[in-house]
A = this chain, B = another copy of it.
């Protein structure tokens, strides 16, 4: 059985979500009474957030590279970073990684391609929306990815931090975020909404919108499971 190395801790809730989701999916897919082997390196979320806020991508990348190397030393045979934000420096990490990495962005693009979407909307943290994280990769797949205007980006970021991160969903914040989504669907022609942050599925559900949702975390977990199934 292959062994997964998971770069975790950014944040811990997301790490738990991956851990439980991978175990549940593995057991469902194999139908066997067995549990997937996994090693998880949990980083300091506060430090990583500060590095991202300061745009110190050099040290930010180094923390992730060191983590993947530790996971490799601990027996991992492939790896994934359990956070969208970490993928801003994915190419850098991959270049130094001793292990193949499963990218949440690449897998989301593949999922959108499969559904034949031509134009999708990206929601995520300010880091994710302003960095071109999804927009550039989607272009390679011939899909246009649009992000909210700066003011809407700030509003979404401030709904994720601190409330959503702490699991708190306020009705007025839900109304605000759906207003932004609906406006972009109608005015810009977005055919699907990409939830590019682990916490967003807490506040935006499939039934809230007229267009489909792409839950990046779930897509990432399924891709990791595909890797396990390769044996």
Residues of A near any B CB (own CB < 8 A): 9, 12, 15-16, 19-20, 23, 32-47, 70-71, 73-75
Q: Report if A33-B16 is in contact (Cβ < 8 Å); known contacts: A39-B70, A40-B39, A74-B71.
A: no
Q: Do A40 and B37 touch across chains, with their CB atoms under 8 A apart?
A: no
- Complex Cα distance A103/B47, Å? 30
A16: min CB distance to chain B, Å: 5
> What residues of B have a CB within 8 angstroms of the CB of A32 in the complex?
46
> What residues of B have a CB within 8 angstroms of the CB of A44 in the complex?
34-37
Q: Do B39 and A41 touch across chains, with their CB atoms under 8 A apart?
A: yes
25 contacts across the A-B interface (CB closer than 8 A): A9-B35, A9-B38, A12-B19, A12-B35, A15-B19, A16-B16, A16-B19, A19-B42, A32-B46, A34-B44, A34-B46, A35-B43, A35-B47, A37-B42, A37-B43, A38-B41, A39-B39, A39-B40, A39-B42, A41-B74, A41-B75, A70-B73, A70-B74, A71-B74, A73-B73
A200: min CB distance to chain B, Å: 21
Q: Which residue on B lies nearest to A44, using beta carbons?
A: B35
Q: Do B12 and A33 touch across chains, with their CB atoms under 8 A apart?
A: no
- Complex Cα distance A46/B74, Å? 21
- Complex Cα distance A73/B69, Å? 10
A13: min CB distance to chain B, Å: 9
Q: Which residue on B lies nearest to A15, using beta carbons?
A: B19
Q: Which of A20, A35, A37, A43 has the most CB of B within 10 A?
A: A35
- Complex Cα distance A156/B100, Å? 45
Q: Do B34 and A47 touch across chains, with their CB atoms under 8 A apart?
A: yes
- Complex Cα distance A36/B43, Å? 8
> What residues of B have a CB within 8 angstroms of the CB of A15 in the complex?
19
- Complex Cα distance A34/B213, Å? 33
